[in-house]
Structure 1
């Protein structure tokens, strides 16, 4: 499992580093949006491809292959001095970086007793998150003394460590457990979605989307699942609008690279800490209520951070306060609540079709949000982009309050 820690160090700060490097190379918010959108688009075929591979080949070999090739393309980013090449390298890295997520979850189920699954999945998730935090802290310190493309080379060391630990300590297993096994255990399901919010057992057909017909959306309680998906769809559009260009807004507001990464690091720290308390919170209140309140907090934080872009002197202080609220407390509460609702929904319906529709919608939403963010912020300002993102979360919050489980 320590390979997940090492690879988290690589993966955690990379999107922010790529965004900042694009700006250093003379790019703007649109160029950053293209890079992040490209990586988001790659997630769809990558999650499908590596999922199929996990059903057919040895899990250990897939993990080793994923770490090997992603580390290779990370090292090649050291030699990229143009925005198109950096975007391409980052997209290819993303494709191979998701290879380990499904096999790692299945490996936990194959190599440990069922009574220990909850503990081991919690440990896997925690190690990955701590790795991301360490990577962000190291990057925050390193960008103050070396160039970003040199940081890629430093992170490559941890990619090699992830590869080495996977070769030495990942056990050999038979091809036994299929991906559907992850859907029957809550901890496995939530851990897998936390790594990548896309799960394709098979690609859905056009008929699978009939649940979104207007006649069904207006009728309770059969509108529960489509409205739940719609609320999550809106969330991912909003997140794409905000997260894609938030580091850009800070850097173009005259914050240093270390200050930008410092704010992102603080958000990750808040997220790790608050994830520990969300379980107890969800024991006291309904998941829909928890998700709704979390979205109000996240949406309000987005709007405040948007307004603050008009006052550059306040960017650092406001970011240190409201970004951890949005990325920490609000996100962890929403994510735990919404994914629990998805887990319950998948358990009672056709799993392949249900998850296929869900993952397709999430993928489309990530694409739309990240792509539009560049154009909106470039032509109409970050304040417009962030206010739209916050307003969308208010709409999503209302839907969570409206839906009734059937």
Structure 2
């Protein structure tokens, strides 16, 4: 009975399933379609770069719009319609610039629902239930990703990439319908800035899209970065930036890598299905592992599966580049290991981040961290295209290993300094 009541009270959140499915589905199919049109890894990397940039700018835009207009339902509906139109537009385009534009648009509009969701969680549930509700929204969002990947895997067995975009459009329209039916604007609204005061909200959302609702442009300045250079926090920030840079060196060229080896479009979606399913299955165990092992230990342990996964990618690039079956099997192992490592790492480091924030400096610390994370994503996406096109996929993945190792060294040094400071205190 209690579970039924809980699901009923959270029915407003069901729009997240098709909304995330449509956005992630289009983001996955665009590189495949670009490659089918004769594009190369450089073009795919530019599309990814534009998408990440649009998400960064969109986080600022949507946050300010919420502050000014206090919209909830309207913004979700607007983003659903925009994503549906963007997905449908892919069916009618066949040029690289147009696909790059669509990639940027999907990034911009997909980020709009995140701050609204955070606020709705805080407005529609009691404070002591925030963490559970945020975990619920994360779980069903991840379920949406799995649904999109499974749909792509099945659809592309018999149909082309362009037609899959229409399925993504239909999923976005269903998100609009669920929004109209279940989402109600609360009579009393919370300011967008209240997000920064809620550790539960920040911890959960930061794990998935670090730039979704923070203000990486408006809250970041060179003086704030310089002020952190002499402090232990800079080690943490640098480790975070390098981690995400490493991640984009792996994931940005991975679809072109698979296609270059003869892996089919359907099999590409199968690989990403396994990636997102591993996230869904492993996510519930993160907090228990961290509680048992401690942040410092688990933060370091998280690098082991992540590093193992990327090393497997290097091996696949050098040893199985012309063997589609072996490449696909290696990829499944790569994605599971890398995603398990990321899931544990992101939970650990996010918790560490909020433990380090001093009173009165939440905005500046989060702004600097968000900006450095964004820089890692942007630099990683564009660098991946250039390195892969010039030196090959194996070298690109090996470079990802190097940056991940540097991230591990910096984070380990941060934890050592933290232990020393605690001992002195």
Please state which band the TM-score falls in when normalised by the shorter chain: over 0.9
* In structure 2, distance between residues paired with 1:162 and 1:346: 36
Q: What is the count of residue pairs matched by the alignment?
A: 397
Distance across 2 between alignment mates of 1:395 and 1:109: 38
Q: Residue 200 of structure 1 aligns with which residue? A: 215
Comparing 298-307 and 389-398, the one that deviates more: 298-307
Please, which of 277, 284, 293 is the counterpart of residue 285 of structure 1? 293
1:81 equivalent in structure 2: 94
Q: Deviations over 1:248-299 (max 9, x none)?
A: 1111111111112111111111111111111100001232322222123212
Higher mean displacement: 165-174 or 149-158: 165-174
* Equivalent pair of 2:27/2:106 in contact (CA under 8 Å): no
Q: Which residue does the alignment assign to 2:5?
A: none
Q: Which residue of 2 aligns with 1:219?
A: none
Counterpart position of 1:27: 39
1:179 equivalent to 2:185? Answer: no
Give the 3 Å change call, closer, same or farther, for CA 114–200 of structure 1 in structure 2: same
Q: Does 1:39 align with 2:51?
A: yes
CA RMSD of aligned residues (A): 1.6
1:220-261 Cα deviation digits (max 9, x unpaired): xxx321110000000111111111011111111111111121
Deviation of the 1:119 alpha carbon = 2.0
Q: 1:348/1:295 Cα in 2 relative to 1: closer, same or farther (>3 Å)?
A: farther
The answer for the alignment partner of 2:313 in structure 1 is 305
Instruction: For 1:139 and 1:295, locate their aligned partners in 2 and report how far apart those are by CA, in whole Å.
Output: 30
Q: 2:147 aligns with which of 128, 134, 150?
A: 134
Contact 1:209 1:357 in 2 (8 A): yes
State the distance in 1 between where 2:220 and 2:306 align.
31
SS at match of 1:13: helix
Give the aligned partner of residue 175 of structure 2: 162
Paired with 1:321 and 1:192, the residues of 2 have a C-alpha distance of 26
Identify the range of structure 1 (337-346 vs 137-146) with the bigger mean alpha-carbon deviation: 337-346
The more displaced of 199-208 and 259-268 is: 199-208
Alignment gaps of 5+ in structure 2: 1-12
CA contact (8 A) 1:56 1:175 kept: no
> Which deviates more from structure 2 when the two are superposed, residues 274-283 or residues 112-121?
112-121
Contact 1:271 1:331 in 2 (8 A): no
Task: Say if 2:26 and 2:87, in contact at 8 Å, map to a contact too.
Answer: no
Name whichever of 266-275 and 69-78 sits farther off: 69-78
CA distance in 2, matches of 1:55, 1:183: 13
State how far apart, in whole Å, the 1-side matches of 2:227 and 2:244 are.
20
> With structure 2 as the length reference, what TM-score do the two structures score?
0.90
Which position in structure 1 is the counterpart of 2:127? 114
Distance in 1 between residues matched to 2:205 and 2:329, nearest whole Å: 34
Aligned to 1:103: 116
Q: Find the residue that maps to 2:91 and give its secondary structure.
A: helix
Tell me how far apart the structure 2 counterparts of residues 273 and 97 of structure 1 sit (CA, whole Å).
24
Looking at structure 1, the residues matched to 41 and 188 of structure 2 have their Cα atoms a distance apart, in angstroms, of: 45
Aligned equivalents of 1:227 and 1:174: distance in 2?
44
State yes or no: 1:209 paired with 2:221: no
Which segments of 5 or more consecutive residues in structure 1 lack a partner in the other structure? 217-222
Question: What corresponds to 1:334 in structure 2?
Answer: 345
The Cα shift of 1:80 comes to 1.1
Question: What are the residue-to-residue correspondences of 1:227-266 with 2, within 5 Å?
Answer: 227-266=235-274
